[in-house]
A = this chain, B = another copy of it.
Amino acid sequence: MTIHTKPEPEKPAFAVTTGPLAGSRKVHDSGRRFPDLRVPGRAIEVEGEPVVRVYDPSGPYTDATATIDISAGLPRHRGPWVRARGDVEEVDATVIPPLGQGGAVPPFPIKHRPLRGKPGRTPTQLAYARAGIITPEMEYVAIRENLGRTEAAKARDGEDFGAAIPDLVTPEFVRDEVARGRAIIPANINHAELEPAIIGRNFLTKINANIGNSAVLSSVADEVDKLVWAIRWGADTVMDLSTGRDIHNIREWIVRNSPVPIGTVPLYQALEKVGGVAEDLTWEIYRDTLIEQCEQGVDYFTVHAGVRLAYIPLTANRVTGIVSRGGSIMAKWCLAHHTESFLYTRFRDICEILAAYDVAFSLGDGLRPGSIADANDRAQFAELETLGELTKIAWEHGVQVMIEGPGHVPMHKIKVNVEKQLQLCGEAPFYTLGPLVTDIAPGYDHITSAIGAAMIGWFGTAMLCYVTPKEHLGLPDRNDVKTGVITYKIAAHAADLAKGHPGAQAQDDAISRARFEFRWHDQFNLALDTDTARSFHDETLPKEAHKTAHFCSMCGPKFCSMKISQEIRASAAAQPSDAVAAGMAEMSEKFKALGSQVYVEIDEVAAAGKRP
């Protein structure tokens, strides 16, 4: 069935949210090396000013000209790029054992034969980058990162703690960063629907949203809509953490309809296959699950290979023990068998599988702290060192890697997490969950974690995994997903501003000019959440005439500082011979004569200006 971009009076059964955000339109840039690339961006119209270009992970769903049919999936535009490299071949899909399927979700209607790297070939972005090859994916993300800019940024203002953010991202820079392992482009060769994105400290900070059911699905369209909803508000990647029996089919629907990289924790599905009994997990079941998901097109896997047997006793005196689901499952397995986990002992085998499909590692932090008391403890940092060791092994196999991080960490212990991670893991991208800076606010953990996320992003974390208001309490609903995404867009953007990312401040400046000039529509359209901004304003001043009013209900017309500020300037401009204007001009000149110092000594000001 076809869902049109304008809402139908009767919503079809398989509907997802479509249509552009208010005041925005989809734009596309083409490549130089690869002229056929159509790199998406969002252009926000602004009255009397150039459009503001923002990063746009929302895919065709926000394209007014697109026709969406989730039963067909998104266009597989990336297929030719992958096949053109000549290093992949079609294979027969792995037969899925009935245990992995519950029957409540229909299979995706279209079957695509999976691709796999030819024997002896490594079809990964890392391998290409090392070989000096610039792929279409690399030029795509280079264009995407520049937000429509084609010239190097001029003024830069920020503290980047030793990052190497360029003034303009070039495909060569992308290739170099991927080759060094400092950035990854998660892009499974079987995810032909992907709009590639890059994750690394020298690029825009990315955010991930988790979706997925715990039990029985209401409908497959609901799950796909959660994906579409999350990317509509800015999620750069989505992890499908479903744990029910239908996860194979639901994942197929998600990947086929996802323009963003999809991550999973394959251990969850493996555990389903052994009826939830951790001790019964085997390498063979896990391996087959990896291959099954590689063939579907999952772009990155969380693998908790750093949970070593020796580290488990280090958690014995913790306040909250092991709080990672995967970490606790593997800890139980290790103790039951009293041996190292197969994730650790078979790590090179895992690398070989991932390399054949270009699935990236997200090396899981199974021993991350789950409380302020447990932050930065021995268990956590012991595992991090093992993750560093495993990073180098993955790189040997040409597999891209990012490293997962905490968790619950008070503010004064955040920075050392980034420093250790960069040092131990060879600057592989860091991907953190928050961190939450206090434990005492369940119901508000999107906020406790956004504080930590903004800071850790500033210090150098490449991707921030969102936390919703329901964290610790229950499953997020659609509103929670949106709140989590917007909150993490705030954290990521604040980090980009503080790092001095070129172009990041353009949106701030545009919305602030609109605010000063009472262009209310522009304020709403330039907001991260245009709908909420508009509805909050309209609660008290709903009329269209109020959209140009020189005040809002917060202070009212008489006490509006911006209105008074404007009057001051207007008065100065309109009466050039007036003492006021002359005084302003004179003072401005005197201050310039003082050398336009950022900090003006009071005595100099007094000497230059009129005394009281």
Contact = CB atoms under 8 A, between A and B. Distances in A.
B474 A568 contact: no
Contacts of A311: 605
A219 interface: no
A406 to B, nearest CB: 14
Given A372-B497, A439-B507, 17 more contacts: A214-B554, A271-B559, A276-B558, A310-B609, A314-B600, A321-B568, A322-B561, A378-B599, A389-B602, A411-B458, A440-B490, A440-B527, A441-B486, A444-B532, A451-B490, A455-B455, A475-B553
A315 B271 CA distance: 63
Contacts of A584: 312-313, 316, 335
B598 A378 contact: yes
A527 B591 CA distance: 52
A565 B314 CA distance: 12
A505 B315 CA distance: 20
Given A559-B243, A565-B323, A605-B310, A515 B371 contact: yes
A411 B497 contact: yes
A508 interface: yes
Interface stretch (A56-64, A180-188, A191-199, A537-545): A537-545
A84 B279 CA distance: 74
Interface in A448-479: 448, 450-451, 454-455, 458, 469-475
A475 B554 contact: yes
A441 B568 contact: no
Contact of A321 (B276, B516, B559): B516
Give the interface centre of A386, A552, A571 by most chain B CB atoms within 10 Å: A552
Question: Closest 7 CB pairs between A and B?
Answer: A310-B609, A321-B565, A340-B612, A371-B512, A313-B587, A411-B498, A328-B564
B536 A410 contact: no
B372 A509 contact: yes
A332 interface: yes
A609 B158 CA distance: 45
A580 interface: yes
Given A441-B490, A509-B371, A515 B472 contact: yes
A489 to B, nearest CB: 8
A249 interface: no
8 contacts: A329-B564, A331-B565, A370-B516, A440-B511, A442-B523, A447-B487, A451-B490, A474-B540
Contact of A323 (B455, B500, B561): B561
Give the residue among A321, A378, A443 with the most B Cβ atoms within 10 A: A443
A455 B411 contact: yes
B441 A529 contact: yes
A349 interface: no
A454 B437 contact: yes
Contact of A512 (B319, B499, B588): B319
A115 to B, nearest CB: 32
Given A243-B558, A313-B587, A508 B440 contact: yes
B512 A370 contact: yes
Interface string A342-382: 00110000000000000000000000001111001110011
A150 to B, nearest CB: 23
Contact of A332 (B338, B491, B568): B568
B612 A214 contact: no
A567 interface: yes
A583 interface: yes
A74 interface: no
A554 B473 contact: yes
B612 A528 contact: no
A126 to B, nearest CB: 24
Interface of A: 158-159, 214-215, 243, 268, 271, 276, 278, 308-316, 319-325, 327-329, 331-332, 335-336, 338-340, 344-345, 370-373, 376-378, 381-382, 385-386, 389, 408, 410-412, 437-444, 446-448, 450-451, 454-455, 458, 469-475, 486-487, 489-491, 493-495, 497-500, 505, 507-509, 511-513, 515-516, 523-524, 526-529, 532-533, 536-537, 539-541, 552-556, 558-562, 564-569, 571-572, 579-580, 583-585, 587-588, 591, 596-602, 605-606, 608-612
Nearest to A497: B410
B587 A312 contact: yes
Nearest to A594: B378
Nearest to A379: B600
A338 B335 CA distance: 80
B442 A533 contact: yes
Contacts of A507: 439-440
A457 to B, nearest CB: 9
A322 B601 CA distance: 21
B451 A494 contact: yes
A268 B559 contact: yes
Contact of A565 (B315, B410, B451): B315
A566 to B, nearest CB: 7
Nearest to A586: B313
B512 A474 contact: no
Nearest to A553: B474
A68 to B, nearest CB: 27
A319 B313 CA distance: 57
Contacts of A556: 214-215, 243
A351 B509 CA distance: 40
A537 B321 CA distance: 22
Contact of A497 (B344, B438, B511): B438
Contact of A444 (B308, B327, B437, B529): B529
A6 to B, nearest CB: 25
B437 A313 contact: no
B475 A319 contact: no
